């Protein structure tokens, strides 16, 4: 096997994890072949076009192109490779378990070989998957393959930075020497390496995401209690976060978590526990709070507008968070369909996310100003920095009613009110009631 200075690496899956990992490993000097099953994705990558927006990725792919190959052919990524990274999707099944069919498909494509290679599991998988893979490799006589669980903690929008500056690198191996080989691969990166058994490594990933999701649902419930008791959740989170045992991160109340990881991983851990005979009650609540949180915006709009039938609502931001074009499990999608079901006219705007194939019945706007023109309310769904400008007079004057529901607590409530808007944040004191439900025109004196 080649030393860590220049290894041959095959990567299965050209999604966020596979592409960022592949590009970053190429930057470390390794020869990387990325394999995907989607011809259009491979063609685009060969032409130098990343299939999604991720800060820094396009440059990284371009700068390391001589060590990066893209292919549809599994053999190209496996024959001669020292390490084979599994970075395929593990989406939820209808029942909420992780669907491992793409992982098993990779195993089916591994060739017999005479020299040793290590299969590196980056995809998030249920605890126990490593054992099953080891059995499957043995059953096929693929005795030259080692197996290491090396879960991925990249967050979209900061994935390239997260790879080079991770909080930790988790390496769960069946054999000491396989673990050593993976640890050596990451040697240039300064971070604590957690060496452990395969099952524990698998659980570190699931438990970390479930814990972070729990923090979000917790602060969202605190926010909801703040709303009925008159406290401000932003102040509460600031005060809580200074306790070093709590910490300041992941305490931003909002309209619920989304994305490709949290919803699926929380559900997968809950199902994994259930399938093993343990009811993980806390996670049931975390999921339910998150679902309800997406819908609370509707109540806030109704508070100011009465029935929403015939009202025009601008949804500002569609991506599940800023700095990504990803719409997977985005709260915007649930919100848009709830508003349409109430009979509202829905306008949507996002600077990068393209929802034309997933949202129907809404009007797509190219600019924020277009989206809010004549609208009865604007809802900040994603914390895009440009939405901080929303309190400018041009937006207020364009709207039929100057009402902002800030699903991300992006704006300063006092500034928004001083600029003439009725403002509703999450877990913050409400504005007094503005325009009457039946009023056709904005009534500036009521929009405090």
Q: Which residues bind ligand UDX (CB under 6 A)?
A: 152-156, 209, 216, 250-252, 254, 257-259, 261-262, 320-321
Looking at the Cβ atoms of 21 and 391, the one nearer to ligand UDX is: 21
CA separation for the pair 422, 377 (Å, rounded): 9
The yes-or-no answer on residue 261 being catalytic is yes
Residue number, 335 or 422, with CB nearest to ligand UDX: 335
Q: Which is nearer to ligand UDX, 148 or 181 (CB)?
A: 148
Residue 110 Cβ, how far from ligand UDX at the closest point, in Å? 25
185 vs 219 by CB, closer to ligand UDX: 219
Q: Are 216 and 257 in contact (CB under 8 A)?
A: yes
Give me the least distance between CB of 145 and ligand UDX, in Å please: 25
Q: Which is nearer to ligand UDX, 256 or 434 (CB)?
A: 256
Q: Closest approach of Cβ 192 to ligand UDX, in Å? A: 16
| Marked catalytic residue, from 24, 87, 226, 261 | 261
Question: What minimum distance in Å lies between the beta carbon of 442 and ligand UDX?
Answer: 31
Give the shortest CB-219-to-ligand UDX separation in angstroms. Answer: 7
Q: List the one residue out of 42, 54, 16 whose CA is nearest residue 153.
A: 16
Q: How distant, in Å, are the alpha carbons of 14, 98, 141, 191, 209 from that of 264? A: 19, 8, 33, 27, 10
Residue numbers annotated as active site = 261
């Amino acid at each position: 096997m080649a030393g860590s200075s220049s290894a041959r690496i095959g990567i299965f899956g050209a999604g966020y994890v596979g592409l960022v990992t592949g590009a970053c490993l190429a930057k470390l000097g390794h020869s990387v072949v990325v394999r995907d099953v989607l011809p259009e994705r491979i063609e685009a990558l060969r032409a130098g076009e990343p299939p999604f927006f991720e800060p820094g990725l396009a440059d990284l792919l371009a700068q390391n192109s001589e060590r990066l190959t893209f292919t549809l052919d599994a053999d190209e990524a496996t024959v001669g490779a020292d390490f084979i990274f599994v970075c395929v999707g593990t989406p939820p099944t209808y029942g909420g378990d992780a669907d491992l069919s793409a992982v098993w498909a990779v195993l089916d494509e591994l060739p017999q070989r005479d020299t040793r290679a290590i299969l590196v599991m980056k995809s998030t998988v249920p605890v126990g998957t490593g054992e099953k893979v080891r059995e499957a490799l043995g059953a096929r006589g693929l005795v030259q393959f080692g197996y290491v669980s090396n879960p991925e903690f990249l967050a979209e929008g900061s994935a390239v930075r997260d790879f080079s500056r991770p909080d930790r690198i988790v390496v769960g191996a069946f054999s000491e020497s396989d673990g050593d080989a993976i640890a050596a691969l990451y040697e240039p990166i300064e971070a604590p390496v957690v060496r452990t058994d395969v099952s524990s490594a698998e659980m570190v990933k699931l438990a970390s995401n479930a814990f972070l999701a729990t923090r979000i649902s917790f602060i969202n419930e605190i926010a909801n209690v703040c709303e009925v008791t008159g406290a401000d959740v932003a102040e509460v989170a600031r005060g809580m976060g200074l306790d070093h045992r709590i910490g300041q991160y992941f305490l931003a109340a909002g309209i619920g978590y989304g994305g490709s990881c949290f919803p699926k991983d929380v559900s997968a851990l809950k199902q994994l526990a259930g399938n093993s005979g343990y009811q993980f009650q806390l996670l049931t609540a975390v999921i339910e709070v998150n679902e309800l949180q997406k819908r609370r915006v509707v109540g806030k709009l109704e508070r100011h507008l009465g029935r929403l039938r015939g009202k025009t609502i601008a949804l500002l931001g569609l991506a599940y968070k800023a700095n990504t074009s990803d719409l997977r499990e985005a709260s915007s999608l649930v919100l848009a369909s709830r508003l349409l079901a109430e009979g509202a006219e829905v306008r949507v705007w996002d600077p990068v996310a393209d929802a034309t194939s997933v949202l129907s019945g809404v009007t797509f706007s190219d600019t924020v100003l277009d989206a809010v023109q004549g609208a009865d309310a604007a809802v900040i769904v994603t914390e895009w920095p440009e939405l901080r400008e929303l309190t400018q007079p041009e937006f207020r004057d364009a709207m039929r009613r100057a009402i902002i529901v800030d699903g991300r607590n992006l704006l300063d409530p006092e500034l928004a009110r001083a600029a003439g808007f009725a403002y509703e944040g999450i877990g913050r004191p409400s504005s007094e009631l503005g325009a009457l439900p039946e009023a056709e025109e904005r009534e500036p004196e009521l929009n405090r």
